[in-house]
């Protein structure tokens, strides 16, 4: 199975600053069709996960442009700029390049 | 508005069975693949099973193959997960999701399954 590695806790950030959350894959996620199937979800405490970003850098419907995704191959980053108080959550990456699809363990974002 | 509402979770002894349901609304249910994703307490997310829009094909993670059965009733816009021979490691919140090539854009609120004697 493809293993996605995330730092469990991100460096605390101040409101208004930029936060970067990384996700590293054990294999390249570039599909033979040319697409890279790496998604980002956020999960607020006590809530269900929400899709933020699909195929590395595409924001899902309704997601603010403060959220952006980047990366290629095996290394990916979710950037939040500027960070707002409501962004306190756990962020998961997921790959759907290979069966079974797998999730990273999640990165908790905390504010200073 | 897409809505997914799970039910059927609870406390069950190891080796016993449980059936989860997910009532869907706000979209044409029969047009979409559906899936179950679970999350063990304080743990990460784990895809469990998916089903095609017609119900003709199903897919499972290895650890539940032969024990879990995903199914759907398009006339009732309802997704199911029959869980047999439950183990302690199946303890988790089970989420119903709309599946677009394993991209999970819509989630229910989840239903907690606890397997314990």
CA B33-B34-B38 angle, to 5 degrees, is: 150
Q: What is the mean pLDDT of residues A62-83?
A: 97
Q: Is the pLDDT of residue A9 over 90?
A: no
Q: What is the mean pLDDT of residues A82-103?
A: 95
- Region of residue B51 (left: phi > 0; alpha: psi -120 to 50; beta: else): beta
Work out how many CB contacts closer than 8 A connect A with B.
Answer: 46
Interface test with A, best of B103, B106, B110 (most A CBs within 10 A): B103
pLDDT at residue B42 in the model: 81
Give the tokens for residue A81.
Answer: 């700029």
pLDDT by residue (tens digit) across A41-65?
999 999 999 999 999 999 999 999 9
Q: What is the DSSP letter of A12?
A: P
Q: Is the pLDDT of residue B80 over 90?
A: yes
Q: What is the DSSP letter of A10?
A: P
Per DSSP, the residues of A39-106 read EEEEE-TTS--EEEEETTTEEPTT--TTEEEEEETTEEEEEESS--GGG-EEEEEEE-SSSSPEE---
Q: CB distance A92–B44 less than 8 Å?
A: yes
pLDDT by residue (tens digit) across B10-61?
999 999 999 999 999 999 999 999 999 999 988 889 999 999 999 999 999 9
Q: Give backbone dihedrals phi and psi of B88, rounded to 5 degrees, phi first.
A: -60, -35
Q: Give backbone dihedrals phi and psi of B113, rounded to 5 degrees, phi first.
A: -115, 125
pLDDT at residue A59 in the model: 97
Interface test with B, best of A56, A100, A108 (most B CBs within 10 A): A100
Contact A79, A69 (CB under 8 A): yes
Q: Is the pLDDT of residue A66 over 90?
A: yes
- What is the distance between the alpha carbons of residues A22 and A91, in angstroms, rounded to a whole number? 10
The shortest CB-CB distance from A39 to any of B62, B103, B109 is to B103
- What is the distance between the alpha carbons of residues B57 and B49, in angstroms, rounded to a whole number? 11
pLDDT at residue B54 in the model: 97
Nearest of B58, A77, A98 to residue B48 by alpha carbon: B58
pLDDT at residue B102 in the model: 86
Per DSSP, the residues of B19-59 read EEEEEEESS-GGGSEEEEEEE-TTS-EEEEEEE-TTSS-EE
The shortest CB-CB distance from B47 to any of A100, A104, A105 is to A100
Q: Using 50, 70 and 90 to split pLDDT, how confident is the model at B7?
A: very high
- What is the distance between the alpha carbons of residues A13 and A109, in angstroms, rounded to a whole number? 8
């Amino acid at each position: 199975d493809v293993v996605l590695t995330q730092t469990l806790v991100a460096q605390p950030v101040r409101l208004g600053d930029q936060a970067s959350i990384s996700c590293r894959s054990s294999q390249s996620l570039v599909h033979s069709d040319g697409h890279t199937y790496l998604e980002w979800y956020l999960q607020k405490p006590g809530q269900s996960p929400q899709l933020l970003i699909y195929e590395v850098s595409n924001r899902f419907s309704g997601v603010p442009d403060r959220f952006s995704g980047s990366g290629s191959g095996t290394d990916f980053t979710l950037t939040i700029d500027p960070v707002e108080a409501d962004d306190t959550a756990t962020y998961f990456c997921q790959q759907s390049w290979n069966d079974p699809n797998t999730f990273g363990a999640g990165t908790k974002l905390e504010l200073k | 508005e897409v809505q997914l509402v799970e039910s059927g979770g609870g406390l069950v002894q190891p080796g016993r069975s449980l059936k989860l349901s997910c009532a869907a609304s706000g979209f044409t249910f029969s047009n979409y693949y559906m899936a179950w994703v679970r999350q063990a307490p304080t743990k990460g997310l784990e895809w469990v099973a998916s089903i095609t829009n017609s119900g003709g094909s199903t897919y499972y993670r290895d650890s539940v193959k032969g024990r879990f059965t995903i199914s759907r009733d398009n006339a009732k816009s309802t997704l199911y997960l029959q869980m047999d021979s439950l183990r302690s490691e199946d303890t988790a919140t089970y989420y119903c999701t709309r599946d677009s090539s394993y991209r999970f854009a819509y989630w229910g609120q989840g239903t907690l399954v606890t397997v314990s004697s």
